Amino acid sequence: PTQLAARAAYLLRGNDLGTMTSAAPRLYPHMWSWDAAFVAVGLAPLSVERAVIELDTLLSAQWKNGMIPHIVFANGVDGYFPGPARWECRKLAANAPDDLDTSGITQPPVHAIAVQRILDHSRRHGRSTRSVAEEFLNRRWPDLVRWHRWLAHARDPKETGRITLYHGWESGMDNSPRWDRAYEHVVPGDLPPYRREDVLVVSDPTQRPTDREYDRYLWLVEQMRRAGYDDYQLASTMSFAVEDVFVTGIFALACEVLANIGEEYKQPHADVRDLYAWADRFRAGVVATADARTGAARDFDVRLQRWINTETLSMFAPLLCGGLPRDTERSLLRVFEGPRFCGHPDLRYALPPSTSPVSKDFRSREYWRGPVWPVMSWLFSWVFARRGWAERSFMLRAEGLRQASDGSFAEYYEPFTGEPLGSMQQSWTAASVLDWLG
């Protein structure tokens, strides 16, 4: 284990560009929003100071409306498509920062978890490290609250208690079967030509989304450009709009985590009150989608006005934020641990696959259509510990570490064979390992 931790630390140092850690050396050579949060979780046990820098870099790219963009582009680094020239946010978006290149969409709000881990680790150290963490919190608190306020307002304009996304990339689970039907209704129009870079890096293209999917991803970017990335316009013009129950579960959790931090570290009372109110509202939004018997949650397609029924990780959103009646929660845990997910008899490790192996949508090697993502195992293990399920958390950690012992730090794994897939040396995989071993 110490050797694995040393390799993970070495990997993060290798991916360190100075004030940001690239999400992966070749496939994702820039900073991704939720990757950066998980990376900060992994940096915290190594250096609280460096973890703080990671979040500072991300927050310095925050938009004027409060959005944290999904990519902060590293200066002078090429090799990723769509890059700044395709997004053109500084030219087209009134809200984009003036001095940095970013994308024009967002990603799941896991950042409060990183702040929590930084504070946890800072307490193990002397006064100077503690003050670095607390100075960071005081300085960035208003930005963190602005970020949550933007999500609660701009992304839930009708107050359904669920976060609306206008691009599948915003879910972080780009090609999940959750979005298949919504994408069928995205009909690419006059799409400027482009060349993919990702399939040049991952040599087996079947591990990545298809060209047909990419056309739709790029068409949505085109629609956003035409709307000037304006929150208000997106709501009426985008051909893709879904209420993402998993992002909503993360958001409810993150609001509560941040509210707890705010209370403990004496941040403004009015902010803490808002954060608790959002935690309640979005928890209720998640619970309202859940099946009365199994507790499984569902996404909602805003354009088609219909529920999305797929067997994916999104079913487990209520486990992240709580709120289900006790018996229903037990049922949902049984689904998580049973033969449709972690307990499927052919799995190499008892970890949750991104899509259930018994679903017709399951593809064992295709990105979010089946593979096991270590960072998701980490997220569930952290949340389960927080919720008081120590045994369950420990099992995920033990299995996650067994999987990681191959030393590839892959982005995702084939669930049956354990073959590492996608990008190797993925920063957030190393970060997960570091937190588990920290």
For residue 110, give the nearest of 335, 432, 425, 390 by alpha carbon: 432
Nearest approach, Cβ of residue 369 and ligand DGY (Å): 14
In angstroms, the CA 248 to CA 156 distance is 10
Shortest-Cβ-distance residue relative to ligand DGY: 169
Q: Which letter does DSSP use for residue 241 in this model?
A: -
Closest CA to 283 of 312, 256, 309: 256
Nearer to ligand DGY, 70 or 283 (CB): 70
Q: At its nearest, how many Å lie between ligand DGY and the CB of residue 307?
A: 25
- Give me the catalytic one of 101, 411, 414, 435: 411
In the block, tokens 């033969």 appear at 339
Residue number with CB closer to ligand DGY (164 or 175)? 175
Contact 61/68 with Cβ under 8 angstroms? yes
Smallest gap from residue 182 Cβ to ligand DGY (A): 17
- Strand, coil or helix: what is 9? helix
Residues 195-224 that bind ligand DGY (CB under 6 A): 198
Q: Are 368 and 176 in contact (CB under 8 A)?
A: yes
Cβ-based nearer residue to ligand DGY, 70 or 281: 70
User: Contact letters (x/-) for ligand DGY, 49-88, by CB under 6 A?
Assistant: ---------------------x------------------
Structure tokens of 433? Answer: 């390992």
- Residue number, 176 or 310, with CB nearest to ligand DGY: 176
Question: Cβ 23 to ligand DGY, closest distance in Å?
Answer: 9
Q: Residue 326 burial (CB < 10 Å; 0-12/13-18/19+)?
A: exposed
Q: How far is the CB of 129 from ligand DGY (least distance, A)?
A: 33
| Burial of 438 (C-beta count, 10 Å sphere; 0-12/13-18/19+) | middle
* Least CB distance to ligand DGY at residue 368 (A): 9
Among 386, 244, 242, smallest CA distance to 321 is for: 386
Q: With contacts defined by CB under 6 A, how many residues of the chain interact with ligand DGY?
A: 4
Residues 248-277 that bind ligand DGY (CB under 6 A): none
- Which residues, in sequence order, are CB contacts of 99 under 8 Å at separation 6+? none
Catalytic residue check, 174 = yes
CA atoms within 13 A on the CB side of 283: 18
- Cα separation, 138 vs 65, in Å, equals 20
Q: Tell whether residue 174 is a contact of ligand DGY (CB under 6 A).
A: yes
Is 229 a binding residue for ligand DGY by CB under 6 A? The answer is no
Q: CB nearer to ligand DGY: give 174 or 291.
A: 174
Task: State the minimum distance, in angstroms, from the CB of residue 103 to ligand DGY.
Answer: 7
Nearest CB to ligand DGY, comparing residues 80 and 436:
80
Based on the shown chain and the rule CB under 6 A, indicate whether residue 169 belongs to the binding site for ligand DGY.
Answer: yes
In angstroms, give the least distance from the CB of 323 to ligand DGY.
Answer: 29
Q: What are the backbone angles phi and psi of residue 379, rounded to the nearest 5°?
A: -60, -50
Active site residue 78: no
Q: Radius of gyration of the chain from Cα atoms?
A: 20
Confirm or reject binding of residue 419 to ligand DGY (CB under 6 A). no
Task: Please say whether the beta carbons of 34 and 438 come within 8 A.
Answer: no
Q: Could you tell me if 37 and 51 are in contact, meaning their C-beta atoms sit under 8 angstroms apart? A: no
Give me the residues paired with residue 301 across strands: 242, 306
Nearest residue (CB) to ligand DGY, 199 versus 235: 199
Which one from 174, 222, 291, 361 is the annotated catalytic residue?
Answer: 174
Query: Is the CB of 35 or the CB of 435 nearer to ligand DGY?
Result: 35
For residue 38, give the nearest of 403, 438, 432 by alpha carbon.
432
Quick check: 183 and 240 in contact, CB under 8 A? yes
Q: Which residues bind ligand DGY (CB under 6 A)?
A: 70, 169, 174, 198
Catalytic residues: 174, 411
